[in-house]
Structure 1
Amino acid sequence: MALPSRLAQLQAKACEATRFAAKHGCAYQRSLVEKNKKYVVEPPTIEKCQELSKQLFYTRLASIPGRCEAFWKELDQVKQLWRNRKDLNVEHAGVAALFGIELYAWFCIGEIVGRGFTLTGYRV
């Protein structure tokens, strides 16, 4: 398929999506806010938003020691598995292999995205 026809097709789909969003977007937004009313803070002021932002930041900051502890526990488990690798069964080896493949796939996808969704690095 030629590039100009693909571009026209993509443009038509984008226009269709824009029309759909314009027609149904407000109703969707209203229903979403109504469903999640318990999370809305009244009155919605700038000061309240800044306070919530600080609460989120410091809550995340306070969770770092717990995350570090969990990381070191998992690392100790991996070390223990490595020490007893002769006792590994096929299931554990398969899970480890799938995890490695998943990491490699995410790396490859990240590289492709970083190059602007091109496989060779050259844009046409």
Structure 2
Amino acid sequence: MAALGSKLAQLQSKACEATRLAAKHGCAYHKTLMEKNKHYVVDPPTIQKCQELSKQLFYTRLASLPGRYESFWKELDGAKLLWKNRSNLKVENAGVAALFGIELYAWLCVGEVVGRGFTLTGYHV
């Protein structure tokens, strides 16, 4: 229990240090960031303009769905062709496919843990 208290004190100390660093350099960082990206800022930055841009982004993404849908089916057809000709498949290609599948599964597991609030059992302590 003492080790846990020690770790907590270390964590608290590091959090305080990070807060001080952010307070000291945060304004300068924000100013530099905004200066570097000022060509992306709409003038004047009003609520109405933000809402308009939000709608533009939503409908632009919605308009891109047919192209994405078509690309998905092309990729699927390519995967079906590979599966049909699997006897000609090289070991390297099968290894890459297996690693890709393992990576997808690992991301799924990480997503599940994040969704449960970074707990492994689902119970919060």
TM-score for the superposition, normalised by structure 2 = 0.91
Is it true that 1:105 corresponds to 2:106 in the alignment? yes
Match of 1:65 in 2: 66
Match of 1:116 in 2: 117
TM-score for the superposition, normalised by structure 1 = 0.92
Deviations 1:26-76 (A, max 9, x none): 100000010011101111111111111111011000001101111011000
Match of 1:93 in 2: 94
The percent of aligned pairs where both chains have the same amino acid is: 78
Deviations 1:52-103 (A, max 9, x none): 1111011000001101111011000000000000010122111101111101
Structure 2 CA distance, aligned partners of 1:3 and 1:122?
19
Is it true that 1:56 corresponds to 2:57 in the alignment? yes
Describe the SS at the equivalent of 2:7: helix
C-alpha deviation, 1:113, in angstroms: 2.1
Unaligned runs of 5+ in 2: none
Structure 1 segment 21-40 matched on structure 2, within 5 A: 21-40=22-41
